[in-house]
Amino acid sequence: MRGDITQHLIETDVWTDELVGRAGIPVIDVPLVTVGSGLGSFAVFDALRIYGVPAAAMAVLGPQPVPWASYEYLTRVSQIPREVRLRSDSSGTPDNLWGFPSYALREAIADKSLKPLWNVLVEPVFADYYTPRAGQVFAALEREFHRVEFARSLHTGQVRMVRKRYGGGYFTVLTPPEGRSPTKRIAFRSSYVHLAVGYPGLRLLPDLQQYRERYRDPTRVVNAYEPHEHVYEALQRRPGTVMVRGSGIVASRVLQRLIDDRDRLRLDTQILHLFRTYVSGPHGPKALARRAGGDGWAYQAFNFPKGSFGGQIKQRLRTLEGRERAEALQAMGGTTTPRRAHWQEQLARGRAQGWYQVMVGSARNLRPDRSRPGVVTTVLPESDTAAFGAAHHPIDTHADYIIDCTGLEADIREHRLLADLLDHGGARRNPLGRLDVDRSFELLGTRNGGGRVYASGSATLGGYFAAVDSFLGLQYAALEIADDLAGLGFCPRLTWWRSLRQWWLWVNDRKIAA
């Protein structure tokens, strides 16, 4: 098929119009391109539409037909279906730039109940933090998706690279779905590019990866972020033992699903929970991020303390540089989960009845059990496990299934586009190994004449804002980017009068002109 990237283009950091033309790649001119087509792209697109940018002035490139597709997939496979509540604040509303009305207020109106509002009023002292149901968020996103006419600017496909253009701006190369284009690639020529590509890839721990590669068995050892409904179905057919690895929000959701099934269907499921590090009480630096803990878990309502979304912690982080900022983020973040009364009661009951058992250590040498179906894991206990009465020698444990909940994010080089930007686009890493962005979320090292590249989402963790991988974080980044673009003359500034008028249009579900 004609119109492909040549070896000369691959090896050239700055492309001319003539080079692209000789390769036979068609060029589409558009002022701004946003790459990803997920929630990060949607947040920037939505903000710029409200600022006054026509839909025709933006191109959205990515594989997702709707912005919430990938996120809904991840929540569903990690045991957060539409009727279950997310780990998100009431005011983190990616469908609503203003955050008012909040999800709690909308739920109160829809249900004709004051309970959500009371929850927000007394949280977190007398109630757990309010969080919206997944389905409520997706329905609200769909409404805004149609209102701002996101689909008009969407070009589905895979983005392979973003290269600087001679004279300023960028070429963004899209590979359309097969049969959708007469050429293999399409180049979008723009002055501005925004990147929100989500998670670079699925991270499988080395011992789990080795097991899969050696024994070709993807069913007994699974990651919580990949489809694994067959595990729950198998346990419903016959009693079995499951080893759960991890101590974050997904581990708590997987445990709740296992116990819900156990209670509802009267199953005899046995659960082994392997902690790499056991948290026995409050921990963390008192000056910054002291948090509760116990029974192995570190408790925190959101990925970062709520104060990091605004206020003193947010302002302090904007003044820190380099390693000092990285250390502050590591102290505030880490593996945590909200403390929810329901699954706390479940685990306490499991410990008392003996079907939920905790182990602390590192796993080694996963292998099939020769005596019965399942997997044998050698656990090396940690030195501080004497409190459990555990010996300090390796222990072999059997499980019918292992569900790994230890992480989702791989190195940014696992994403082809990000790797190309590091090698050819001038992008660099921050102290946490992610993309290095400034306070306006411009990707440092990629400026080209009057052109700018911006980035938001999980790939930018380590910058001047902590909770980049959250609804509110995506909205915050979108506002910073929109303000910076307004300063460059790309769009009008958002005055109070325009903001009020646009909010009124949002309330009445009226489309934005142009």
Token pair in block for residue 290: 């002291």
Mean pLDDT of the chain, nearest integer? 90
More confident residue, 428 or 306: 428
- Scanning the structure block, which residue is given the tokens 């927000």? 120
Confirm if 361 and 379 have CB atoms less than 8 A apart: yes
Residue 170 belongs to some domain of the structure: yes
20-34, 59-73, 143-157, 303-317: least confident range? 303-317
Residue 72 belongs to some domain of the structure: yes
Residue 405, classified by CB atoms within 10 Å of its CB into exposed (0-12), middle (13-18) or buried (19+), is buried
Confirm if 491 and 231 have CB atoms less than 8 A apart: no
- The residue out of 378, 404, 430 marking a domain boundary is 404
DSSP notation for 326-357: HHHHHHH-SS-B---HHHHHHHHHHHHHTSEE
455 and 490: one domain?
yes
400 and 464: one domain?
no
pLDDT of residue 107 exceeding 90, the answer is yes
- The residue out of 404, 419, 438 marking a domain boundary is 404
Confirm if 468 and 437 have CB atoms less than 8 A apart: no
Query: What pLDDT was estimated at residue 386?
Result: 44
- The residue out of 361, 381, 404 marking a domain boundary is 404
Query: What pLDDT was estimated at residue 331?
Result: 80
Domain harbouring 231, CATH code: 3.50.50.60
pLDDT of residue 125 exceeding 90, the answer is no
Cα dist from 322 to 43, 317, 334, 433, whole Å: 27, 11, 18, 11
Query: What pLDDT was estimated at residue 88?
Result: 87
First CA to last CA distance, the chain: 36
Number of structural domains in the chain: 3
140 and 240: one domain?
no
More confident residue, 13 or 409: 13
Query: What pLDDT was estimated at residue 387?
Result: 43
182 and 273: one domain?
no
309 and 440: one domain?
no
341 and 428: one domain?
no
Structural domain of 458 = 7-86+134-200+411-507
323 and 442: one domain?
no
Ranked by mean pLDDT, the top range of 28-42, 75-89, 245-259 is 28-42
Residue 110 belongs to some domain of the structure: no
> What is the mean pLDDT of the segment spanning 293-322?
82
Nearest to 465 by CA among 339, 291, 303: 303
Query: What pLDDT was estimated at residue 410?
Result: 67
> What is the mean pLDDT of the segment spanning 345-367?
93
Token pair in block for residue 443: 């990707």
Query: What pLDDT was estimated at residue 170?
Result: 98
Which pLDDT tens digit goes with each residue over 155-166? 999 999 999 999
For 112, left (φ over 0), alpha (ψ -120 to 50), or beta? left
**DSSP secondary structure code for residue 324 in this structure:** H
Residue 491 belongs to some domain of the structure: yes
70 and 145: one domain?
yes
Residue 127 belongs to some domain of the structure: no
Question: How many Å apart are CA 454 and CA 485, to the nearest integer?
Answer: 10
Residue 121 belongs to some domain of the structure: no
pLDDT of residue 287 exceeding 60, the answer is no
139 and 60: one domain?
yes
Cα dist from 54 to 60, 79, 454, whole Å: 13, 38, 19
19-23, 31-35, 216-220: least confident range? 216-220
Nearest to 402 by CA among 264, 261, 205, 249: 205
Residue 481 belongs to some domain of the structure: yes
* Residue environment code for 173-212, b if the CB has 16+ CB neighbours within 10 A, otherwise e: bbbbeeeebebbbbbbbbbbbbbbbbbbeebbbebbeebb
DSSP notation for 148-193: TTGGGGEEESEEEEEEEETTSSEEEEEEPPTTS-SSS-EEEEESEE
121-125, 309-313, 419-423, 455-459: least confident range? 309-313
17 and 51: one domain?
yes
